[in-house]
Amino acid sequence: MSSSDDDVLAAGAVLWRPRSSGEARAPGRRAPPRSASLAESVGQGVEVALVHRPRYDDWSLPKGKLDAGESMAAAAVREIREETGAVARLGPWLCDVRYAVAEGRKLVRYWSAQARTAPEFVPNHETDALRWVSPDAAMDLLSYAHDTEVVARFAALGPPTSVLLLVRHAKAGSRDSWDGDDELRPLSESGRAQARELAGLLRLYGPDRIGTAPPLRCRDTVVPLADALGLPIVDEPLLSERLFADDPDAALARVRELAALPGVTVASSQGAVIPEAVAVLARDAALPVAVDLNDVPSKKASTWVLGSRDGKLVSADYVERPDAR
């Protein structure tokens, strides 16, 4: 998902919520507060948010340009809040859209995103109406073909019932210069910086729980996230390289369990575990991914975003760096 060759960077989302039967779909009407799990929403069906922009007199998906120093993912969540009033959490990456603008070539990166709160929509000079409609209705109402293609991708993928954020620990001090137990080898200074950056990235996905392999470097990678969210860190011994080597079947079974938990799970693990786990889940689901399953990348401080529905993997996105734009 490279963006280095594009002149204008923007980000957005197909913002969705569980469909409520009998609710009027009038433009700009606020939705009543609701709460539903990802799993419940699939059975009920979903509706997606469209915004009307008076400057162009068009209907579009929530999106906008990046602020200085901002990541694509952070921009998507911010633009959702600014244009719809909803607090959202990201799900699977959907696609990139490129087209020509006056400044050159524009890239807009889109995610699936769940509305976690009822939108507090206030009409303004950028968006003067908010409308919740079915994906089919959205494709009829949207003003641009590239937006309809994004919604079509969302409709084909569907919202996941579970998301597993499989994180490789951040950089640790040199193994050669560490005299103690390798399980206690700490993060390096750059690793601690990566852990802080990871906290910013992973928060955008709205984690419900955090687990870690036993090595200190794995736990410390998710400590800033746990502190920020006020969540406990649960030990996951089977995610360690040592136990994975001893009993790979048990370890992979545990990864499958974590991937099927409703909501969003963060799991911090190691470089000898993650590639095999991703490859096995993808093969189980016959899921085409943009990597060689015999050589799955897993750089330090990277994240695999694994979306599942009803226990079966439906998406696998690789985020190489926590500060990636």
> In the 8-state DSSP scheme, what is residue 182?
G
With left for phi above 0 and alpha for psi between -120 and 50, is residue 158 left, alpha or beta?
left
CA 187 to CA 300: how far, in whole Å?
A: 11
Give pLDDT, residue 2.
53
Structure tokens at 36: 């539903």
Domain map (residue ranges) of the chain? 8-157, 162-319
Quote the CA–CA distance of 176 and 67 in Å, as a whole number: 41
Q: What is the pLDDT of residue 21?
A: 55
What is the pLDDT, as a whole number, of residue 27? Answer: 42
Q: What is the pLDDT of residue 26?
A: 40
Contact at 8 Å (CB) between 120 and 81? no
In the CATH hierarchy, which top-level class contains the domain 162-319? alpha beta
**Structure confidence at residue 112 (pLDDT):** 97
pLDDT tens per residue across span 58-107: 999 999 999 999 999 999 999 999 999 999 999 999 999 999 888 889 99
Residue tagged 């799993």 (tokens): 39
Residue 324's pLDDT is what?
Answer: 78
Superfamily name and number for 8-157: Nucleoside Triphosphate Pyrophosphohydrolase (3.90.79.10)
Sorted by sequence, the CB contacts under 8 Å of residue 117 that are 6+ apart come out as 33, 86, 87
3-state secondary structure of 193: helix
Ranges of residues in the chain with a pLDDT under 70 are: 1-4, 21-44
Instruction: For residue 157, give the nearest of 296, 278, 287 by alpha carbon.
Output: 287
